[in-house]
Structure 1
Amino acid sequence: MSLGIKNVKMALVDKNGVVKTGVDGIFGDASDASGVFTADQDTAFGVASVAFANLSGSQTGIYGSDKLVYTASGKGAPTGTVTVNQLPNQIKQAVLGHKADGKGGFTISGKADSNNRVALLVESRESFNDDAPIYVSLYSSVVSEASLTMTSNNASENRSTDALLFTAIERGDAGFGKFYFAESEGFDEKAMNDDVFKAPVTSGTQG
C-alpha cells in the first residue's frame, strides 16, 4: 500500500476539531497563525515510522438454526504510534499536554491529558509510484508517551527517538479520520488539509 514516509503534520485542536493558534497553539507563539507543525527531515531529523492499529473492531458471529447467519461488527478505537527521530521539545511537550513552569520545566503528571487534543496527518506514497501521495488522518487524538529509555554511548552513538501514541477520538459524525489518495478522482489537497485542520471561524470567514 505504501512506500516510506514523507512527513507528519500535527496541530492542537479544540473539541470541535478547530486548530488552535497563537499562544494556545502547538508553537505557543502569539505570532503563529497556522497552528500546524510539519515533522520532516528539516524540522525533526525525519519520521522513522508510523504504525496504525485498531482501525476496526472485533467481529462476533450470530448463530441461528444451526447456521452462522450474521456477523456483528464492533467499533474499533484507532491508534497511531508515531516515531520521530527528534521532535523539537516545545512541540513534543505541547502535544503531550505537559504544563510548562516558565523556567524550562514541564510537569510529568503520570497520565495523558484527555482535554489536550491533536489532529494528525501522515503522508506516504503508493507502493510502486513515488509520485502518487497517500495520506492517513486522525481528526482528534489524545497523545501519550509510555516510556523513555536513555542508553550510554559505547563504540557507537546511541540515540533515543520520540515514540508517541495517538489515541483517536471521533469528531462528531465525521468519524475518526480518513484515508486520502492523490490518484483518486477529485482529490483536492487543500480540501483535505481544510478537513483535517479546520480553521477558526473569524469575522471574515464563513463557516
Structure 2
Amino acid sequence: MNKPLQALGNIHHAAYRCVDAEQTRWFYEDLLGLTLAAAFEEDIDFGENLGRNRHFLHIFFEMADGNYIAFFDEPGISKPEHFGRKDSFDMHLAFEAESLDSLREWQDYLNAAGKTCLGPIDHGFVHSVYMYDPNGIQVEITCRAENSDAIMKDEAASARDALNAWTAKTRKQKEEVFGAERLDKRGRG
C-alpha cells in the first residue's frame, strides 16, 4: 500500500465528551488559560442508527501552538456513567510547561485554586503533575527533562526492538483475553 505523499504534521484537535460546556470552559479557560476559540451548535446524522440526529455543542480551546482541545456537550445522549474518572492509561491529556520551575508554579497555582495536583513525578525524560478535569479526564502538566532530547533519541534507536520483545512476551496473555483475531486486525477495519 502506498503512503500519502505528505506526512501528517500535527494534531488539529483531540475531542472528548463533557458534562457541561460552561463547567468545562471554566476549567480549561479560567484555570488552565486556554482560549475558548469556537462553540458550534450542530445537529448531525453520523449514520449511527440512533433513529435521530445528534444535537450537541462542540467547543474548542486553542493552545499556544495553535492546536485545539475540543469537547462535545450532548445532553440528549450523555449519561452519568460516561463521566467517571478514567484510568490514566485509558485516557489523559498532557500539556507542556516550559520548565520545571514553571511546572511547580502551575502546581502551586492550581492547588491554591482548589485542584489537587499530585507530583511532580520524575519520569526520567519528563516531570509531571496530575489532576482531573470536571469530566473525569486526567490532566497532566509536564515539562521535558534537561536531557529529554538525548533520551528520546537513544530510545528511538531501540524502540522497534523493545516493541518486538514486548509483543513476544505478552502475546499469549493477550490472546487469552482478546483472542488472536482481535490482535491481528491490520487493514481489516
Relative to the length of structure 2, the TM-score reads 0.25
- In terms of fraction of residues, the more helix-rich structure is 2
- In terms of fraction of residues, the more strand-rich structure is 1
Structure having greater relative contact order (Cα 8 Å, sep ≥ 6) = 1
Relative to the length of structure 1, the TM-score reads 0.24
